[in-house]
Structure 1
Amino acid sequence: MDGKTALAFWHKYPFPTRLTSVGVEELAGYLRELSNNGLSTKKAEQILTLIAEDGDTSRDFQDKRDFIVQGLVRNIRFYEREIARIENEIESLMKQLGFQLETMTGIELVTAAELVAEIGDIHRFASPDKLARFAGIAPIVAGSGNKVRYYKSKQGNRELHDIFKALAIRQIAVTRTKKEPRNPYFHAYYEQRMAAGKTKQQAIVCIMRKLANVIYYLMKTKSAYVIPVVSSNEAA
């Protein structure tokens, strides 16, 4: 809805009646130019067919409604420019800090900045375990003697916890085309946890805990991430 082609289309044709006198070839040419040949005559035919099937859907003060739609397009374009400017500033800051978090699967600029913002100075954590506790990933141990139980922690930094969870889910994702794991190491680890009887949520928590180790190391050493080699048996 907010893509470059869509916004240009909504701005020029904020309401179906604006396309009443527009033919298939004219609309197709307009869409083709906007989308760098990504949209064809078929899309133009589909749009005009749907408009014809709907009939006249105009309402009172339609010109004012059209003006509002065009205003929304202008606002979206403005905010997109502002977001791009902010991301440029964030990128510059991240380069100054020297972290290479974006080398890891599933971490782009914004996620890297969120991790740094929530974790702060990594040296205030003596170990990955401390970071995991801070993020509310490490389980709470309760009991005495031979009876020990582990409970899910509801403490810690919940913002950081959610970032780790989203990152964990990205680790087990597969590519759309070849259906290959984006991160074979974590995908294999996830399958191992599932085979061991863990639920999906428990397996994801296991990945989150491992990710705490990885992020701790990457920030502590400012190293680039390298996906560990997975054997054929693990990948199967």
Structure 2
Amino acid sequence: MKIVNQLFVGIDVGSRNNAVYLMKPDGEKHSSFRMQNNRGGAKMLTERIVSAIQSQGLEGVVIGMEATSIYGDSLVYALREDGKLGQYPRKIHVLNPKLVNKFKESYPELPKNDDVDAFVIADKLRFGRIGKEVYMDDYRYKALQTLTRARFYAVQDLTREKQRFANYLFLKCSGLAQDKDIANTSATTLALMERFETVDELAFADLDELTAFIDEKGRNFADPAAKAKAIQAAARNSYRLPVTVNNSVNQAMAVSIATMRALEKQIKVLDKAIEQQFKIIPNTLTSIPGIGKVYSAGIIAEICDIHRFQSQASVAKFAGLVWTQHQSGEFEAQDRKLIKSGNRFLRYYLLEAANSVRRCDSEFRRYYDLKYKEVNKHQHKRALALTARKLVRLVFRLLKDNRLYKPPEG
């Protein structure tokens, strides 16, 4: 049953201080003030909210704040755990900043300051059409989310570092960087760059010694001698750097290699922590071939309770796996882009999971191949996004029905 007689509280969150606006049910101002973004400030806020509810004879409260990195998380915990506030019906919303900004456009000539933003948030709450409140009933999801998001950032850092190393590799040994059969950041390539100071040392190294070195570092080459010859040929065709420049590139490469190895170690540590935390959350996603515990955890950490979503389409929209539409009259564009909004963490784990599942499941592999052949550009990116969209439907149904995945026959 909807409560009409309630207080609306808009909070503009900052790293040090929060601006608060308390609005009556009819839209009139009750009060506005600032509070420190700490435990004492949260206690003062709840006391003022309770006082306003009591003095105005209200029945409950709706609290809203913008999603501002991690600065509002602790405040949400404090508001949910406060016993005085808990005696009243209350809802807590963490709003998308784009939603607030769009609503703010309906107020012409408003000044830009934190007090005004708090007012706009409170009035947005009063008008409604916000969706479900922030989900923090089960802190297991938040604990898992902290780990999966940390892993996401570590993977992004590793990707950027690999690109930096690839640039250094081109400077030192351009032929090796250009060879498609030699991975730029493979263990063998890293070992070669550490072992040989200059490209000439690599190009004219003893072939038998180089073969033995590659066989030891690579460990999976069917013909290490042929690989050694290919590497030397690439080195001989490479540009030569001045000695001073070459020395600086070596130093930069050494730092980059150390960074990549440290990040890879961090990711392994996070993977173990994720798997450990994931054990206490029942799920059926790991029954999908190829999805694995880490990707399943990343998906569930963002979705939380599947019953928050009415349909698989709402999950896809939440993840940003829906496409913009460009239509005018009878014309409709064929080259459409994914919407820019959505949960980037959920989208990342769905895309990674889809890429893994399509290698292990015949139905997803067939679907990916079909979508790949439909166009002549962006084949993999498009096919993978569509495969992830297909995966959303499966994820929603498995979690909603609490059942295991049954691969298609044949």
TM-score of Structure 1 vs Structure 2, range by shorter chain = 0.5 to 0.7
2:257 paired residue among 73, 76, 81? 73
Alpha-carbon contact 1:101-1:112 (below 8 Å) kept: yes
Q: TM-score, normalised by structure 2?
A: 0.40
Q: Which runs of 5+ in 2 are unaligned?
A: 1-183, 324-336, 374-378
Specify whether residues 72 and 156 from structure 1 end up closer, same or farther in structure 2 by C-alpha distance, changes over 3 A only: closer
> Partner of 1:82 in structure 2?
266
- Output aligned runs, 1:150-229, within 5 Å: 157-159=342-344, 162=347, 166=351, 170=355, 173=358, 182-184=361-363, 187=366, 208=389, 211-220=391-400, 222-229=402-409
Q: Counterpart of 1:159 in structure 2: which amino acid?
A: R
> Which amino acid letter does the alignment assign opposite residue 303 of structure 2?
I
2:228 alignment partner, one of 21, 44, 66: 44
Go from structure 1 to structure 2 and tell me whether the alpha carbon gap of 1:163 and 1:51 turns closer, same or farther (over 3 Å shift).
closer
Shift of 1:100: 3.6
Q: Distance in 1 between matches of 2:294 and 2:258?
A: 24
Partner of 1:143: none
- Which structure dedicates a bigger proportion of its chain to helix? 1
Partner of residue 209 from structure 2, selected from 26, 35, 39: 26
SS in 2 for 1:60: helix
Structure 2 match to 1:178: none
**Structure 1 unaligned runs (5+)?**
140-151, 176-180, 195-199, 231-236
> Displacement of 1:157 after TM fit?
3.3
Determine if contact 2:364/2:387 at 8 Å carries over to the other structure.
no
Whether the 8 Å CA contact 2:307–2:400 is kept in 1: the answer is yes
Task: Tell me the matched-pair count.
Answer: 206
Assess if the C-alpha contact under 8 Å between 2:354 and 2:387 holds in 1: no
- The one-letter amino acid of 1:60's match is T
- Shifted more, 100-109 versus 81-90: the winner is 100-109
TM-score, scaled relative to structure 1: 0.64
Q: Deviation at 1:5?
A: 2.2
**CA deviation profile, 1:19-52 (whole Å, cap 9, x unmatched):** 3662000000000011225151111112223333
Q: Secondary structure at the match of 1:18?
A: helix
The alpha-carbon distance between structure 1 residues 57 and 226, as it changes in their structure 2 partners (threshold 3 A), is same
Distance 2:266 2:207 in 1: 36
Q: Which has the larger radius of gyration?
A: 2
Which residue is equivalent to 2:106?
none
Supply the distance in 2 between the matched residues of 1:54 and 1:189 (Cα, whole angstroms).
38
Greater relative contact order structure (CA < 8 Å, 6+ sep): 1
Structure having the larger proportion of residues in strand = 2
Residue 11 of structure 1 is matched in structure 2 by: 194
Query: Is the 2:320–2:342 Cα contact (8 Å) retained in structure 1?
Result: yes
